[in-house]
Structure 1
C-alpha cells in the first residue's frame, strides 16, 4: 500500500507521519510526504523529536506534491485542515482521500516542556493511526473495501 501525507508546508505533521509510517509498517506501507506550498525545509523540532522517539530522520525533506505525480498513492492523507480544503492535483484522482486533522505542534507557544509535549502527543496520535493502517494494509483490500475499512477505523 502506498500513502502520501499532505500538509500545506510539508515541514512538521506530514514529515512526522512519513517517518513513523515507514518505520512502523516495515515495508507493508510505503509512505511519502509533500506539501501544496512546501517550506523547503523540515522543521528542526520535527527532526529532534523523531530522533528522540527512536525514529529515523534519514532522507526527510520538504517537497512539493508536484514531485509525486508518478507515485500513484493508494491513499492521500491530509494532516492539516488547510490542506484538507485544497483541491488535490488531478493525478491523485484515483487515490482515496482521508483527513486526519492533527494539531500542529510547531505552532505551540510555551516553554520547551510544553512544546515537547505537543510534539510527543502528535507522534503518539500518528503511531495509533499507523497501527490501524497497518492492520488494514494486511487485509489487501480492493478499493471499496479499503474505503470502508478506513471509515470504520475512524479516518474521515
Structure 2
C-alpha cells in the first residue's frame, strides 16, 4: 500500500493572533489530511484576535481548537518535526520575522498585519478579508505543488516564489 506522507507545516509570525492562525486553519481545512498545519509566534500575544475568529467562522472553518501560542512549544522535546516553515510577518512594516532553526524548507510569505489596522470597523474588516484572501491563494498554490517529485532545491524555489508572486492587494482606503 502506497500511503502519502503527511507534511507538518508551521506558520510563524510575531503575535500569533491573526495571520498565522488563519493560515493554520485554512491549510488544515483544505488539505484533506495531506498536511498538518500549526501556528506560533515569536512573541505570542496569548489570544486569538476576535476578528480572525469571526472571519474563519463566517467562512465555515473550525475555530474551537485555535489558540495563540509561542514558538517555544514547537522547539520542545516531543514536538512535531516540521517539514515546512512559513513566516507571514510583514517586513514592509519593519516587523522582525522569526527564524526557525533546523532543516525544514522555509519561505517568507509576508502579509500585512490586519490586527494592526486602526480606523473604522469597515477598514479593519477589509484588512482581515484581504489577509485571508492572500493566505488562501498562497495555500492553494502550495497544496498544488508536486512535493514528492521536486528536488529540495526546486521545492525551496517554488515555496519562496509563492510568497513573491501573490502579493497583497494595495489598500484602497483614503487617508
What TM-score do the two structures reach when normalised by structure 2?
A: 0.79
Match of 1:108 in 2: 117
- Tell me how many residue pairs correspond in the alignment: 151
Counterpart check, 1:34 vs 2:43: no
Counterpart check, 1:13 vs 2:40: no
1:139 CA drift (Å): 3.5
Query: Hey, what's the Cα distance between the residues in 2 that align with 1:24 and 1:83?
Result: 29
Instruction: Could you list the structure 1 runs, at least 4 aligned residues long, displaced by more than 6 angstroms after superposition.
Output: none
**Structure 1 residue runs without a partner (length 5+):** none
1:148 CA drift (Å): 2.7
| Higher-Rg member (1/2) | 2
Q: Which has the higher contact order (CA 8 A, sep 6+)?
A: 1
Match of 1:124 in 2: 133
CA contact (8 A) 1:36 1:83 kept: no
Match of 2:169 in 1: none
CA contact (8 A) 1:98 1:155 kept: no
Q: Alignment partner of 1:3: what SS?
A: strand
What TM-score do the two structures reach when normalised by structure 1?
A: 0.88
Counterpart check, 1:50 vs 2:59: no
Query: Hey, what's the Cα distance between the residues in 2 that align with 1:42 and 1:117?
Result: 18
Counterpart check, 1:146 vs 2:152: no
Q: Please provide the CA RMSD for this pair.
A: 1.8
Match of 1:75 in 2: 84
Query: Hey, what's the Cα distance between the residues in 2 that align with 1:114 and 1:145?
Result: 39
